[in-house]
Amino acid sequence: MTLFESLRHNRRAAIGAMLFLGILLAVLPFTVGSMMGNSWLRILDFALLYIMLALGLNIVVGFAGLLDLGYIAFYAVGAYFYALLASPHFGLHLPVWLIIPGGAMLAGLFGIILGAPTLRLRGDYLAIVTLGFGEIVRIFMNNLNAPINITNGPQGISGIDPINMGGVTLAKPIEFVGITIPSLHAYYYLFLGLALLIVFVSIRLEDSRIGRAWVAIREDEIAAKACGINTRNIKLLAFAMGASFGGVAGGLFAGFQGFVSPESFSLMESVMVLCMVVLGGMGNIPGVILGGILLTLLPEAFRHGAGPVQMALFGKILLDPEALRMLAFGLALIVVMLYRPAGLWPSSTRRREFKGEGA
């Protein structure tokens, strides 16, 4: 962390580090793909989607301090928007460059619609109401198959168009200046690009008039009002921004999977994204990214590793890897919250806060 801060002051070191990181990110899918296989490449792609989600939720929870337990609803909105407009379900096949931004905007609008009734609520009450809203959206997706079939109910929508950019579909290997880029790699680069864009927007927002207003509301809403902040609008803006990131991730998810169903948008998913934000370090962008990566990769590592390890040790599988995975996840949560209450990588101010309390 001191390394990270010193990079801020040393320009050449910073450029060097960026270059290194850039190369690392560029070759990552090839390394992972050849060494660990396609299932891990898929997981890598999902990690990028979760980073986008975690950064979106971080705006609402981390910056503005509004505890939202229904965030996955916006992921669902983005995903269904894509699924309905680019699949045989309605026979529509709109282009990606329309659907992804459109999904972001629609999710943002949903952020405002679902945020507006909660403006006077704080803390636990806000959490409960947003949890309810999240479930309502999922239940709507589940039941909007009658009388008119809009969402195809619990069966979900399948056969969704893969992402197609300027006539090049990402579903098949792409020939590019003599190199073949397999589909999972191509999705990786697309997701990486959009995740970086979201990181960039988050960083710019954090260090701006709007970002300061969000934090001011988190710190003391009454004082924020007295400073002339229109807390209603600024909170709605946080909901809308956060939701639009979720909408982007949702659209990409639909195109990547080729299939969406309400099951993918359960409360557990909201909780998972919230854990990424909280464990990583609420309000700190690098921390939230770290949280997104760890909480996608570690449970998968556990799932893949728990079976073979047990076979090697005991010659048979004693504990179901799936159950073990949740157990380990719960334990990890408790340990982190006990020993690093501000998250794994808290912002420098939060770190000072927890130290300051002891001093």
Partner 1 sequence: MSALLLEAKGVAKHFGGVKALHDVSLSIRKGEIYGLIGPNGAGKTTFFNVLTGLYHPDGGEIVFAGEKLKASAPHEAAARGIARTFQNIRLFANMTARENVMVGRHVRTSAGVMGAVLCDRRTRAEEAAIHRRAEELLYYVGVADRADDLAKHLSYGDQRRLEIARALATDPQLLALDEPAAGMNSTETEGLRRLVEGIRADGITVLLIEHDVKLVMGLCDRVAVLDYGQKISEDVPSIVQKDPRVIEAYLGGAVA
Is 208 one of the binding residues for partner 1 (CB under 8 A)? yes
Amino acid at position 14, single letter: A
- Complex with partner 1: residue 172 or 204, whichever CB lies closer: 204
CB of 63 to partner 1, least distance (A): 12
- Residue type (1 letter), 228: G
Q: Binding segment for partner 1 among 26-34, 188-196, 216-224, 300-308 (CB under 8 A)?
A: 216-224
Looking at the Cβ atoms of 241 and 289, the one nearer to partner 1 is: 241
Cβ atoms of 40 and 185 within 8 Å: the answer is: no
Contact between 225 and partner 1 per CB under 8 A: yes
323 — phi, psi (to 5°)? -65, -40
Closer residue to partner 1 in complex, CB, 170/216: 216
**What distance lies between CA 298 and its chain's CA centroid?**
16
Q: Applying CB under 8 A, what is the total number of residues that bind partner 1?
A: 31
Residue with tokens 């003599």: 178
**Per-position x/- string for 238-277, each x denoting binding to partner 1 as judged by CB under 8 A, each - no binding:** ---x------------------------------------
Q: Is 358 in the site for partner 1 (CB under 8 A)?
A: no
Among 18, 36, 165, 227, the residue binding partner 1 under the rule CB under 8 A is 227
- Binding piece for partner 1, criterion CB under 8 A, among 1-9, 179-187, 289-297, 350-358: 350-358
220 binds partner 1, rule: CB under 8 A: yes
Residue 182 CB, nearest distance to partner 1 (Å)?
Answer: 33
Interacting positions 175-204 with partner 1 (CB under 8 A): 200-201, 204
Residue with tokens 């396609």: 38
Q: Which of 9, 11, 209, 316 binds partner 1 (CB under 8 A)?
A: 209
Residue closer to partner 1 by CB (options 89, 218) is 218
DSSP of 135-160: HHHHHHHHHTTSSS-SS-GGG-EESP
Among 230, 308, 331, 341, binds partner 1 (CB under 8 A): 230
Q: Does 215 bind partner 1 (CB under 8 A)?
A: yes
The window from 2-10, 112-120, 129-137, 212-220 that contacts partner 1 (CB under 8 A) reads 212-220
Q: How far is the CB of 305 from partner 1 (least distance, A)?
A: 39
The residue range among 9-17, 304-312, 324-332, 347-355 that interacts with partner 1, by the rule CB under 8 A, is: 347-355
Place of tokens 């962390």: 1
Instruction: Return the residue matching tokens 């979720």.
Output: 246
In 3D space, the residue among 70, 57, 53 whose CA is nearest the CA of residue 128 turns out to be: 70
Question: Residue 35 burial by CB count (10 A; 0-12/13-18/19+): exposed, middle or buried?
Answer: exposed
Identity at 121, one-letter amino acid code: L
Contacting residues for 21 by C-beta, under 8 A, at least 6 apart: none
Distance CA 344, CA 337 (A): 9
According to the binding rule CB under 8 A, does residue 122 interact with partner 1? no
Nearest CA among 5, 25, 111, 61 for reference residue 276: 61
Residue 80 burial by Cβ neighbours in a 10 Å radius (0-12, 13-18, 19+): buried
Cβ 332 to partner 1 shortest distance, Å: 26
Q: How many CA atoms lie within 13 A of 347 on its CB side?
A: 15
By CB under 8 A, name the binding residues for partner 1.
200-201, 204-205, 208-213, 215-216, 219-220, 222-231, 237, 241, 349-350, 352-353, 356
